Structure 1
Amino acid sequence: MLDLQLGQSTIHPTIVYDKESWTLIDTGMPGSAAAIYEQAKQAGLDGKTLQSIIFTHQDVDHIGGFPQFLAAEGADLPVYAHPDDKGAIDGTEPMFKMSRERLDGMLQQLPEDIRNAYVQTFLQPNRENVNRTVADGEILPIAGGLTVIHTPGHTPGHISLYHAPSKTLITGDATIANEDGQMIGPNPPFTPNWDQALQSLKKFKNFDIEHVICYHGGWIQKDVKRQINELAELS
């Protein structure tokens, strides 16, 4: 789990790895790539190959750092996402929650090189960004096996991931956690389909989970099974 500052809060892209390579789950805000590479190096992954990138969904704080990874790793890097969010990540469809006006305002605050890279990758694309699509229940051959859990509600193509070897659930934004390490469900202002998001949480009960990483909230290890059961009862 990585720690990246986002205003007054911290976001948590995640790395899973094996002996030869590592995979990045979400790329942070625009301009985050340098910090992610540095944290990967500090974690002892220097010299290992970045095998792939997985997007849990289309929001800017999850896909924004991608242009620099694309430039560094090349267009053949496998990039995974659910088909229902692929169009927004490819730049062929509008983003589900962010208007173009709001996006333009955010981009104007970025350094010119970061802004231009974002525009070229997502707003004026000449290639698809997502070259691998995933399905609910699919087990990706990454770091000993990552199971895709389609958890729509926050966005139509939102996914969470279960890493069976470590019994770790990577929630994306399906649920957030508070400062006390308690998972509290989806974040209402940013979850357009609330009922669907709550139904998605029930899927977590199908897995033997001992650890949880929330993109907003971080590492959860206390009373995990109880918390998973309580999330399932929110609907």
Structure 2
Amino acid sequence: MLEITAIVMGRQDTLHPTFLWNESKAVLIDTCYPGQLPLIEQALKEHGFSLQQLTDIIITHQDIDHIGSLPSLIQTSPSTLGVWASRMEQPYIQGERMLIKISQDAIDQAVRSLPPEVPEEKRQAFRHALEHPPKANVTQLIGYEDGDRLPSFDDLIILDTPGHTPGHISLYHQPSRTFIAGDALILHEGVLRIADSRLNVDNEAALRSLVQLSAYPIDQIISYHGGQFRGDVQAQLQALIG
């Protein structure tokens, strides 16, 4: 689990992408906000790895804090990266459709929510970034429709977890018994939750997506927002699902 901390929209925010590797693959799961490539590079260095070792990127879903640095990673890579996402999220990531949560009203609201001390120049740059989100080609489709494991990474199981977005995916890493949630779960003050209802396209689907986790022995969860949870995972999930 990486920790990427920066000031975003005038406030400090920490994201938790995940990095996995084996003899043939080095995989980054989600890519943070636009402009955060140097922070990703530094986080990898702290764990003894470099950007040049990356072979693949998995995007759990289309939100801008997950696809933000994807184009930069592709452009700076010395080799062709495999970019993996679900079929449903593909057209949004590739820029063929506008991100599902980005409407003009949503953009206006986001700009208004910036702290008053943010200068006008940065406000307009923020607006431009929302109106022109990053995009990149998805080279490989994943999810149950095309198989549930990543080739050359057989111990990484892909789980369809719609709700936060229609084609959201999560991952289960068998050797470490880790559920890599993306935004299917957030961690807030030690408690697992689904994301705020205003950020989910379907709250009921988000909760239903968690039912399948009872079939997996999970020792820890990595939430993109909140970080690592260790403890009685199934008890927290049951309390959440009801």
Report the TM-score range of the alignment, normalised by the length of the smaller protein: 0.7 to 0.9
The alpha-carbon deviation at position 185 of structure 1 amounts to 2.3
The answer to whether 1:133 aligns with 2:141 is yes
Structure 1 equivalent of residue 114 of structure 2: none
Aligned length: 223
The percent of aligned pairs where both chains have the same amino acid is 35
User: In structure 1, how many angstroms separate the alpha carbons of the residues matched to 2:139 and 2:184?
Assistant: 23
Aligned match of 2:3: 3
Tell me whether 1:91 sits opposite 2:95 in the alignment. yes
Q: Check if 1:146 corresponds to 2:150.
A: no
Structure 2 regions of 5+ residues with no counterpart?
A: 112-120
8 A contact 1:23–1:54 mirrored in 2: yes
Residue identity in the other structure for 2:57:
I
SS in structure 1 of the partner of residue 228 of structure 2: strand
Q: Is the 8 A contact 2:162 2:205 kept in 1?
A: yes
Larger displacement relative to structure 2 (145-154 or 71-80): 71-80
Q: Give TM-score, length-normalised by structure 1.
A: 0.84
On the 8 A contact 1:18/1:144 being kept in 2, the answer is no
**Aligned-residue RMSD, C-alpha:** 2.7
Alignment of 1:113-128 (within 5 A): 119=132, 121-122=134-135
Q: TM-score, normalised by structure 2?
A: 0.82
Q: Within 5 A, what are the aligned runs for 1:1-235?
A: 1-5=1-5, 6=8, 7-19=11-23, 21-46=25-50, 49-73=53-77, 76-99=80-103, 102=106, 109=122, 119=132, 121-122=134-135, 129-136=137-144, 138-141=148-151, 143=153, 145-179=155-189, 181-231=190-240, 233-234=241-242
Which amino acid is 1:60 matched to? I
The alpha-carbon deviation at position 199 of structure 1 amounts to: 0.7
Q: Following the alignment from structure 1 to structure 2, what is the Cα–Cα distance between the partners of residues 147 and 226?
A: 22
Q: 1:177 to 1:10 in 2, by over 3 A?
A: same
Could you tell me whether the CA contact under 8 Å between 1:21 and 1:48 is conserved in 2? Answer: no
Deviations 1:6-41 (A, max 9, x none): 433311111111245421100000011111111101
Aligned partners of 1:226 and 1:145: how far apart in 2?
A: 25
Unmatched 5+ stretches in structure 1: 123-127
1-side partners of 2:228 and 2:56: how far apart?
Answer: 22
Deviation at 1:189, TM superposition (A): 1.5
Instruction: Specify whether residues 142 and 215 from structure 1 end up closer, same or farther in structure 2 by C-alpha distance, changes over 3 A only.
Output: farther
Contact 2:41 2:51 in 1 (8 A): no
Change (3 A) 1:42 1:75: closer
1:2 aligned partner, one-letter code: L
Give, as a single letter, the amino acid of the residue that structure 1 aligns with 2:22. Answer: D
Ranges of 4+ aligned residues in structure 1 off by more than 3 Å: 100-106, 108-112, 118-121, 141-144
Question: Residues 24 and 54 of structure 1 are in contact (CA less than 8 Å); yes or no, is this contact kept in structure 2?
Answer: yes
1:75–1:41: structure 2 CA closer, same or farther, 3 Å change rule? Answer: closer
Give 1:227 shift. 1.7
